[in-house]
Amino acid sequence: MVRKNLNTKTPRHKENHLEIKTDILVIGSGIAGLSYALKVSELASVAIITKKEKAESNTNYAQGGIASVVGTDDSFEMHIQDTLSVGCGLCHRDVVELMVKEGPERINELVEIGVHFTRKQNKFDISREGGHSRNRILHAADLTGKEIERALLEKISEQKNITIFENHFAIDLITEHHLKKKKSSDEKKHCYGAYALDEDENVVKTFLANVTMLSSGGAGQVYLHTTNPPIASGDGYAMAYRAGAKLSNMEFIQFHPTTLYQSGSPAYLISEAVRGFGGVLRTTSGEAFMKKYDERESLAPRDIVVRAIDTELKKSGDEFVELDVTHLPSEKIKEHFPNIYKKCLEKFKLDITKEKIPVVPAAHYVCGGVVTDVLGKTSIENLFACGEVAMTGVHGANRLASNSLLEAVVFSHRASLGTKQQLQQKFENVSVPSWDESGTVNNEEWILIEHNKKEIQQTMWDYGGIVRSDLRLQRALRRIEFLREEITEFYRRTKVSEGLIELRNLVLVAELIVRSALQRKESRGLHYTTDFSQTDETLLGDTIIFKKEEPKEF
Ligand SMILES: Cc1cc2nc3c(=O)[nH]c(=O)nc-3n(C[C@H](O)[C@H](O)[C@H](O)COP(=O)(O)OP(=O)(O)OC[C@H]3O[C@@H](n4cnc5c(N)ncnc54)[C@H](O)[C@@H]3O)c2cc1C
């Protein structure tokens, strides 16, 4: 393969049937991947691969909004303090400062590309969510993510230098391992692109790139109950880990306190903003129980609310608690939450202005991820990461509501600056082998994939979820390790398919979460274990996890 030095603007990528050469490969088409692609398309050709239809992403489901300091009674320092306080001592203050201070500029850019945030009297209508001391959540009614995704995709469609490959599922990042190149121990690894399954044609293509951006989002599907759509199977964490990248803080999984009970998968989320608007959490017998747990009551940060709900459910044996907005003016509810109101009424026959909403927690967000510096660079050369899959240091042990969309836009911009630097360098000429599926067969036993997936999700829900203990985590680890061996064996002899690739990733991400949780011998933020129920003020480091030996087949 011939690699170009990309000092200058280059034409669109070149393509043959199974090998696609591009300057920059972006894996994922959520807010992080799309924002980054728009910026770097000024520098070079960009191919975006995305495993489903292009808008399908966690971004598309975000309701509440994006946090930024725009109010006159607000300040950068207040937003920084709120973020640090919710992050429970593990946020990297310097990175939080960057995110908060650069936020307003990135918000302006979103407005410039056509995002319509809700306004009142020509000013942004800013709302408040749990953990925020001021109103600072910009939103587009209660469909903020959808509006951002729409505007980004529209803008992308105007860029000649960007091509989107829908239904292209990244399987693995290409590194020296695939080149069968021996690497001395002090030599850095490089990323040369990725292998991806074209789901329409059922062939594996080789995407070769000078720079690869991993923006593949979260991993909610590791758990039985999740707010995340099916695309969120943690592929990016698994690919990066297998490639040898450094990951961190995978034990910090945020559970959203309020998803509609029995709404299916993904669970229908009742936005945090509903509590910000005056919604009160009650037991089924009517008690406003949050006052027993935190002075901020229903507006306490998510981890506190989630554990309070978990405790109340265990005490009462109930399957849900209730979110009550019936005391608020019904016209205001309809105006502020038109979609939640409509969806509950039409799909679930629930009039939230008159009836309490039955809610349970569900896995929502991964605070840890692939470690990056402030320019989006990972521990592997030419591999960048941004968005939910990345661990920039802003969330620490818990994420402040609506900081994730902000993190994605700020650090995708920063990663574009990092990419600019990277493109000044000379790229090595390497020859990458095509995908080799010799020795594999089509397997008829697809039902096993579904069974294995359910086992992983149930195990993680029961033993690696909201309240942990060493005993539960060890139990989870034994089951996960066993499943991983079984799945590895299945993967080795079977032709790749969407379900199989996801399963291989889910089981690995589950293991990374459990191993990280076992390493942290304290309770902090989202990680709560009954064996070490207090925070240990000496444990202020991140939980680093990476593959020590050369990647083998798995
Ligand atoms: C219901 C819900 C509500 C939320 N509300 C808010 C909110 O109000 N405010 C806030 O700040 N955050 C919110 N979040 C979190 C926020 O939406 C996400 O963290 C953020 O959108 C992540 O953006 P991303 O670009 O990193 O990932 P995503 O938007 O998830 O995009 C990931 C992309 O990668 C693709 N992909 C994944 N794996 C592969 C693969 N192997 N090959 C190819 N493509 C792949 C996916 O198809 C998708 O296109 C919410 C999340 C959910 C689920």
The CA 220 to ligand 1 mean position distance, Å, reads 10
**How many beta carbons lie within 10 A of that of residue 149, not counting itself?**
25
CATH no. for 14-58+156-252+365-397: 3.50.50.60
Rounded average pLDDT over 452-470: 94
Which band of pLDDT confidence, cut at 50, 70 and 90, is reported for residue 157?
very high
pLDDT band at 185 (very low <50, low <70, confident <90, very high): low
| Span of 59-68, 212-221, 281-290, 300-309 with lowest mean pLDDT | 300-309
CATH number for the segment(s) 447-533 = 1.20.58.100
Residue 80 to residue 67: CA distance in whole angstroms: 11
**Residue 8 pLDDT exceeds 50:** no
CA-nearest residue for atom 9, ligand 1, is: 402
Distance 388 CA to ligand 1 centre (A): 7
- Taking residues 126-150, report their average pLDDT: 93
State if residue 405 touches ligand 1 by the CB under 6 angstroms criterion.
yes
Q: Using the structure block, give the residue that is written with the tokens 């306190």.
A: 257
Residue 77 CA to ligand 1 centre (angstroms): 27
Distance 57 CA to ligand 1 centre (A): 5
- As a whole number, mean pLDDT of residues 109-133 equals 93
Please tell me the predicted confidence (pLDDT) of residue 263: 67
The stretch 416-433 carries a mean pLDDT of 91
Mean pLDDT, residues 460-478 taken together: 95
Q: Which residue do the tokens 């199974």 mark?
A: 18
Task: Give the residue range(s) of CATH 1.20.58.100 domains in the chain.
Answer: 447-533
Q: Give the number of other Cβ atoms within 10 Å of residue 292's Cβ.
A: 11
Q: Is the CB of 228 under 6 A from ligand 1?
A: yes
Cβ 127 under 6 angstroms from ligand 1? no
State the fold for domain 260-361.
Flavocytochrome C3; Chain A, domain 1 (3.90.700)
* Distance between CA atoms of residues 145 and 199, nearest Å: 26
3-state secondary structure of 533: coil
Cis preceding-peptide flag for 266 (omega within 30 of 0): yes
The answer, yes or no, to whether any atom of ligand 1 lies below 6 A from the CB of 529, is no
Taking Cα atoms as reference points, which of 227, 309, 225, 212 lies closest to residue 268? 227
The residues of the chain that CATH labels 3.90.700.10 are 260-361
CA 1 to chain centroid: 33
Going from the Cα of 63 to the center of ligand 1, the distance in angstroms, rounded, reads 12
Residue nearest to ligand 1 atom 5, measured at CA? 62
Separation between Cα atoms, residue 363 and residue 526, nearest integer Å: 11
Using pLDDT thresholds of 50, 70 and 90, give the confidence band for residue 140: very high
Burial 368-391 (b: 16+ CB within 10 A, else e): bbbbbebbbbbbbbbbbbbbbbbb
Mutate to test the pocket of ligand 1, among 57, 106, 171, 340 (most ligand atoms within 8 A of CB): 57
Question: How does pLDDT run across 190-200, given as a tens digit for each residue?
Answer: 999 999 999 99
- Count of beta carbons in the 10 Å neighbourhood of residue 170: 24
Which residue bears the tokens 């399908």? Answer: 56
Of 106, 242, 275, 302, the active-site residue reads 302
Residue type (1 letter), 106: R
